[in-house]
Amino acid sequence: MPPPLLLRAPCRPRVATAAATGTGGVGGGARHARPPPRRRQRGKPRFSRQSAIKKSFNQEQVVFSTPVPPDPSVAVIGGGASGLACAAALAARGVRAVVFDTGMHGLGGRMATRTVAGDEQQLVFDHAAQFFTASDERFQKLVDQWIDKGFVREWTGLIGELEVGGHFRTIHSSTPRYIGVNGMRPLADEILPESDLIEVVRPCWISKLEPFNGLWRLFENEKPRGQYDAIVIAHNGKCASHLLSTSGLPLLTRQMKRLNLSSVWALLAAFQDPLPVPQNYSYGTFEGAFVRDVDSLSWMANNSQKLFPLQTGRPECWTFFSTAAYGKRNKVPQENIPKVTAEKIKEDMLRGVELALGLSRGSLQQPFYTRVQLWGAALPMNTPGVPCIFDPLGRAGICGDWLTGSSIEAAVLSGMSLANHVADYFASSGEQPEEFAIGLHENLNPVEGHDIGQFPGLDSQKPEVAEAHLTPSI
Ligand SMILES: Cc1cc2nc3c(=O)[nH]c(=O)nc-3n(C[C@H](O)[C@H](O)[C@H](O)COP(=O)(O)OP(=O)(O)OC[C@H]3O[C@@H](n4cnc5c(N)ncnc54)[C@H](O)[C@@H]3O)c2cc1C
């Protein structure tokens, strides 16, 4: 069996650097991160040349007070759906953006597709986001553009809920379901428009942020990665907390630390013959199912049917996800999954497939290809419920799915919101920075949804009551 995959850039310990590095004057002793609004004095320059540092929480708040230049640039750290949408929206507002992403194989983060060379055909698996819905007009507009360009299409295959023993109930929904035509990662590659205003640096793991002379300096280990007028943290979890912890952004750090993330195991498996999936005489076999009451399984989807519905004779490439509860109980350091753990997870999940399909133990055909992966920071379990976070004093913001939910739609909207917020802030010449503070103090509340995220519109439509005559398709 191939070794298990590493699904997030490992968080290397970083050398702590004082946030105050080179930022200039220090206004010590302040108890609050946000100073009272400053009155502009006639004849005086709007900004002092130097930045001030204010003490707050465990680290000092960096305060940029140098004027924003007429052609500001923003570093976007993270090239998932939110970071890409943010860079695209910044460019649309005429603001330069550089996107840094750790992805070895491509952009996209949790919009991930794995392609493996097969004997005759490639094996293709969407191995995080499976499909998405659109409930917001702005996102729907974007999706419509992607459809026009041929990057996205509606997924009309049968989906539903699968209960132990092979009891399948169709989700009949008028809400369209969308997929990337060639998978989710290729779609991520298309989110960025061709623009001189956008640059992508990949693979690159930003390990240090340093305020310096009114700019943010970025480093990959000790390698300088440029300096920027503002930064966007477009990733979450431990990596982001580490990155922020000595950056001089205590309010952002605190919000990030409040976030709880689930863990989900993924099993990618290719089968030579079709799986014995329940057959519905009216609708055919299902292509995706939310699995109920099986500890090791919360979702299963047939990528071959979903992505290549017109091609016959392909091996079936299935993506199976565990429940978050199972992921939590069986969590290991994702940088280093012991072989024995990977083997156990595979067995548990294949057993889960047998249970869900109502097959006797050991009767499921052996997959000819498997890969076990851990999404150690899979989905947000709580949210501040704000579109984005922005600290105007530190000229730094956060976007990501977790700001309002756990879906591609939430991630994209958050990126777009932050971009517009930052562009408005730049356009204001930073005159009243406090007006641009957002999301810095909100408490986080639980996120509702499935173990693999939210599907606005779909969830409100209950599956049809049990259908009769379900028999295995083979
Ligand atoms: C198993 C699973 C199934 C899912 N299924 C669905 C689904 O069916 N439908 C749906 O809508 N959503 C689904 N989701 C959720 C969806 O994938 C996410 O909500 C969305 O992709 C999040 O985008 P993001 O930009 O917020 O974060 P991410 O996609 O996580 O992007 C963050 C990026 O930042 C990079 N990065 C991290 N640290 C650094 C650093 N220091 N320097 C540079 N780059 C860095 C990461 O490598 C990553 O590429 C699923 C998620 C998982 C895990």
Q: What confidence tens digit (pLDDT) does each residue in 280-318 have?
A: 777 789 999 999 999 999 999 999 999 999 888 889 999
The pLDDT assigned to 435 comes to 95
Higher pLDDT pick, 85 / 473? 85
What is the per-residue pLDDT for 22? Answer: 32
State the Rg of the chain over Cα: 24
Instruction: Tell me the C-alpha distance between 209 and 30, whole Å.
Output: 23
Ranges of H-type helices in 370-437: 408-427
Of the candidates 454, 126, 128, 459, the one whose C-alpha atom is nearest the C-alpha of residue 308 is 126
3-state secondary structure (DSSP) of residue 105: coil
Residue with tokens 């004057």: 25
Per-domain residue ranges for the chain? 52-105+192-260+383-443, 113-184+262-376+451-472
403 in Cβ contact with 444 (< 8 Å): no
Query: Would the CB of 321 count as within 6 Å of ligand 1?
Result: yes
Long-range contacts of 114-122 (CB under 8 A, 24+ apart): 114/5, 114/268, 114/371, 115/183, 116/270, 116/369, 116/371, 118/270, 118/315, 118/369, 121/314, 121/315
pLDDT at position 173: 86
Residue with the bigger pLDDT between 208 and 281: it is 208
pLDDT for position 8: 39
CA of 429 to the centre of ligand 1 (A): 33
Q: Token digits for 327?
A: 């992921």
Which of the residue ranges 58-67, 297-306, 352-361, 389-398 would you say has the lowest mean pLDDT? 58-67
Q: Where are the beta strands (DSSP E) in 143-205?
A: 152-154, 159-163, 167-170, 178-180, 198-201
Distance 400 CA to ligand 1 centre (A): 8
How many Å lie between the centroid of ligand 1 and the Cα of residue 36?
37
56: Cβ below 6 Å to ligand 1? no
Burial of 336 (0-12, 13-18, 19+ CB in 10 A): exposed
Cα dihedral 258/259/262/268 (nearest 10): -150
Q: Which atom of ligand 1 is nearest to the CA of 204?
A: 43
| 436 Cβ closer than 6 Å to some ligand 1 atom | no
CB-ligand 1 contact for 401 (6 Å cutoff): yes
Q: What is the pLDDT of residue 52?
A: 42
Q: How far apart are CA 207 and CA 189, in angstroms?
A: 24
pLDDT tens for 303-312 read 999 999 988 8
Q: Report how far residue 166's alpha carbon sits from residue 470's, in angstroms, rounded to the nearest whole number.
A: 8
Q: What confidence score (pLDDT) does residue 162 get?
A: 96
Measured in Å, residue 468 CA sits from the centre of ligand 1 at 38
Q: Is the CB of 101 under 6 A from ligand 1?
A: yes
If residue 331 lies in a helix (H) or strand (E), which one and from where to where? none
With 70 as the cut, is the pLDDT of residue 26 above it? no
- List CB contacts of 405: < 8 A, sequence separation 6 or more: 380, 383, 447, 449, 453, 454
272 CA from centroid of ligand 1 (Å): 30
Does the CB atom of residue 327 touch ligand 1 within 6 A?
no
Whose CA is closest to atom 50 on ligand 1? Answer: 129
- pLDDT band of 338, cuts 50, 70, 90: very high
Does position 62 have pLDDT exceeding 70, yes or no?
yes
299, two tokens: 């979702």
pLDDT above 50 for 30 = no
Residue 206 Cβ inside 6 Å of ligand 1? The answer reads yes
- pLDDT at residue 463 in the model: 54
Query: What mean pLDDT is reported for the chain?
Result: 87
Tell me which fold the domain 113-184+262-376+451-472 belongs to: Polyamine Oxidase; Chain A, domain 2 (3.90.660)
Closest atom of ligand 1 to CA, residue 8:
47
- 219 CA distance to ligand 1 centroid (A)? 22
Using one digit for the tens of pLDDT, what is the confidence trace for 416-469?
999 999 999 999 977 789 999 999 999 999 999 999 999 999 866 555 544 433
375 CB less than 6 Å from ligand 1? Answer: yes
Q: 65 or 185: which carries more pLDDT confidence?
A: 185
Closest among 199, 424, 452 to 323, alpha carbons compared? 452
Q: Which two tokens stand for residue 338?
A: 């012991």
Kindly list the distances between the CA atom of residue 401 and the CA atoms of 83, 150, 348, in Å, as whole numbers in the listed order: 10, 25, 30
Ligand 1 site-directed mutation target among 140, 235, 291, most atoms within 8 Å of CB:
235
The Cα 385–Cα 241 span in angstroms is 19
Gap from CA of 81 to ligand 1 centroid (Å): 7
pLDDT of residue 469: 38
CA-131 nearest atom, ligand 1 = 8
What's phi and psi for 154, nearest 5 deg?
-75, 140
Q: Would the CB of 111 count as within 6 Å of ligand 1?
A: yes
Mention the CATH class of domain 52-105+192-260+383-443: alpha beta
Which range is least confidently modeled, 28-32, 102-106, 125-129, 158-162? 28-32
Place of tokens 């640039």: 73
d(CA 245, CA 29) in angstroms, rounded, equals 20
Q: Is 128's C-beta closer than 6 angstroms to any atom of ligand 1?
A: yes
Using 50, 70 and 90 to split pLDDT, how confident is the model at 243? very high
